[in-house]
Amino acid sequence: MPDRDMYDILVVGAGPTGLFASFYAGLREMRTKIIEALPEPGGQLAVLYPEKMIFDVAGFPEILATDLVKGLMDQTSRHKPTFCFDERAQTLTREQDGSFTLTTNVQSHYGKTVVICSGIGAFHPNKLDNESLNRFEDNGVYYYVQDKDPFRNKKLLIVGGGDSAVDWALNLKEYADEVTLIHRRGEFRAHPSSVTELMNSSVDVETFHELRSVLGDGHITGAVIYDNRTGEEKQIDLDFILMNLGFKADLGPIKEWGLEIEKRYVLVNGRHETNIPGVYAAGDIARQPDIEPLNLIATGFGQATVAVNYAYAYLTGGKVFPGHSSEMHP
C-alpha cells in the first residue's frame, strides 16, 4: 500500500460535538483530522441558527450560536488539528492492519480510529403542501434565520411547537413589532421553562391553530389561520412567516458503512463504540439501544469526551481516564 498520512483519529463532522471531540483528542495528544461537508465549522448552528441564543452550555447563562462556534474553534485550534471543509464523507474501509480509509468527494483520509459526529446527517426542512405558502419561499417565508435585522419593526408569524419555534418567538419579540405563534396542538415539545416564558411574554400564542393560506401579491401582506377544532378562520396582517416544523434527516453514504443503524441513528454502547472496532459515534447521530436519545449540545459534549477517551484507550492501551485537564500542560 502506498505511503499514507496516518492520523490517530478522524472526526467526521465539525458541529459542536465534532469540534469538542477534536479538542479532547488534542488534549490526549492524538493527531487529529476533522472532515466536514459544509464550507465552514458549526454544523446546524452555523447554517440554520447563527443568531439564536443557546441556553444549555455549562458556564454560559446564554451564548449566541456564532459565538459558541467561535469559542469551540478557538478551543480546538490550540492543538492544531487538520481541518478539511467542503468534503462529504462517502466510504469507510477498515484495512487489514485495523486502520481506516475514509474517502470523500475530494480525497482519501487515513486514521487509526474514527469518531462520527455528523449530527442528523443531511437535513432538509419539513414543508407544508400549501401553494400559497410555497410561492413566497425566500421572499417572506423562511425556514431558518441567519439575520434578525429584516424582522425589525415587522409583523411576524411563527409556525411550530418545538424548541426552535418557541426560542425564535422569544428571540425575535424585541425585534419585530408583533410576533404571533401558531401551533396545531395544545402542548408544546419545547423546554417547559421556555414555554412558561413564552406564555408570559408579549407573543400572541394561538394553540390548536394552523395556517390556511398566505395573502399578498409580490410580498406578504397577511395570512388566514384557522382553529382546527372548530374550523373558525381569522385573518392577520403580516410581513414575514417563519416555518419551524423540524427537518428530515438523511445519513446518506454512512448507511453503507456496515454500521448498525436504527432509523437515523448509529447504534452505540455505553463507551460510544459502534459495532465496528475502532469506530465511535457521538452527538445527535448516536443512540444506545432502548434509551431515548437526548439530542442536546450539552449531551453531545459529554458523549464526545466518552468516545475520544475510549478511542484513545483502544489505540494505545492506555487509561480511559486521563486525569483532570487542569493538571495537564497546554
The answer to whether residues 284 and 295 touch, using CB atoms and an 8 Å cutoff, is yes
**CATH 3.50.50.60 occupies which residues in the chain?**
6-123+247-327, 127-243
Q: Which residues does 293 contact at the CB level (< 8 Å), separation at least 6? A: 265, 284, 286, 287
pTM: 0.76
Amino acid at 146: Q
- Given this model, what pLDDT does residue 330 score? 47
- Given this model, what pLDDT does residue 1 score? 45
153 Rama sector, left if φ>0, alpha if ψ -120 to 50, beta otherwise: left
Distance CA 31, CA 1 (A): 21
Specify the CATH number of the domain 6-123+247-327: 3.50.50.60
Alpha helices in the chain (DSSP H): 16-27, 44-47, 65-77, 131-134, 163-172, 192-199, 297-316
Block means of pLDDT (10 residues each) for the chain, 330 residues, are: 82 96 95 93 83 88 93 95 94 96 96 94 82 91 87 96 91 94 95 93 97 94 97 96 85 93 93 97 94 90 97 90 60
- Given this model, what pLDDT does residue 112 score? 98
- Given this model, what pLDDT does residue 161 score? 95
Give the residue carrying C-alpha cell 413566497: 136
Give the residue carrying C-alpha cell 431558518: 144
Distance CA 77, CA 83 (A): 10
DSSP structure class, residue 202: S
Nearest residue to 44 via CA among 104, 122, 105:
122
- Given this model, what pLDDT does residue 52 score? 82
Distance CA 160, CA 166 (A): 8
Specify the CATH number of the domain 127-243: 3.50.50.60
pLDDT digits (tens, 9 = 90+) for 279-315: 999 999 999 998 888 889 999 999 999 999 999 999 9
- Given this model, what pLDDT does residue 329 score? 47
- Given this model, what pLDDT does residue 327 score? 56
3-state secondary structure of 212: strand
Q: Quote the distance between the C-alpha of residue 192 and its chain's center.
A: 21
